[in-house]
């Protein structure tokens, strides 16, 4: 019996995520584990002008629909198993992924990393690093 029964693969739909997805798919097949893919998209921004009566909000449903289409296309491109769950959430990546892992009852999180160092890591931040530091379950990072 495998230690890992439920694998959550976090993706931002880039090349680093693609390498991690292939590793997650392979692990899930080998371990006969359930697999879910989670994509976190940026929540809509609220824009306030100098006029108190004016508030414009980007359309949430359009943003969610676009994110769903992008996730579906990405999963098709990487040939994700049809039985894998697809999760889509708005929010800040690291905490939202951790919440998704808890809700999915994942016992392993797989995430891609660009392997940035120095100033670029400081300026851009590292979701993978935050997951490793904060996750109550093991996190497998896969370098691009």
| pLDDT 10s digits, 71-125 | 999 999 999 999 999 999 999 999 999 999 999 999 999 999 876 665 544 434 5
Residue 34: inside a domain, yes or no?
Answer: yes
What distance in Å separates the CA atoms of residue 107 and residue 2, rounded to the nearest whole number? 11
What's residue 60's pLDDT? 74
Residue 43 gets the label, from left (phi > 0), alpha (psi -120 to 50) or beta, of beta
What's residue 12's pLDDT? 93
Three-state secondary structure string covering the chain: CCCCCEEEEEECCCHHHHHHHHHHHHHHHHHCCEEEEEEEECCCCEEECCCCCCEEECCHHHHHHHHHHHHHHHHHHCCCCCCCEEEEEECCHHHHHHHHHHHHCCCEEEEEECCCCHHHHHHHCCHHHHHHHHCCCCEEEEEC
Q: Are 5 and 33 in contact (CB under 8 A)?
A: yes
The total domain count for the chain is 1
Residue 132: inside a domain, yes or no?
Answer: yes
Residue 84: inside a domain, yes or no?
Answer: yes
Model's pTM, two decimal places? Answer: 0.84
What's residue 40's pLDDT? 96
- CATH number of the domain where residue 33 is located: 3.40.50.620
Residue 32: inside a domain, yes or no?
Answer: yes
Residue 76: inside a domain, yes or no?
Answer: yes
């Amino acid at each position: 019996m495998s230690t890992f029964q439920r694998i959550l693969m976090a993706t931002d739909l880039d090349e680093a995520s693609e390498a991690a997805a292939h590793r997650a798919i392979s692990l899930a097949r080998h371990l006969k584990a359930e697999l879910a893919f989670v994509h976190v998209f940026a929540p809509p921004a609220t824009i306030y002008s100098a006029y108190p009566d004016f508030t414009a909000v980007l359309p949430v449903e359009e943003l969610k629909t676009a994110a769903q289409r992008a996730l579906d296309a990405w999963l098709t491109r990487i040939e994700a198993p049809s039985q894998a769950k697809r999760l889509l959430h708005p929010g800040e990546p690291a905490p939202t992924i951790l919440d998704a892992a808890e809700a999915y009852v994942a016992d392993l999180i797989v995430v891609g990393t660009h392997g940035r160092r120095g100033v670029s890591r400081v300026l851009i931040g590292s979701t993978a690093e935050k997951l490793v530091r904060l996750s109550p379950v093991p996190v497998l990072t896969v370098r691009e």
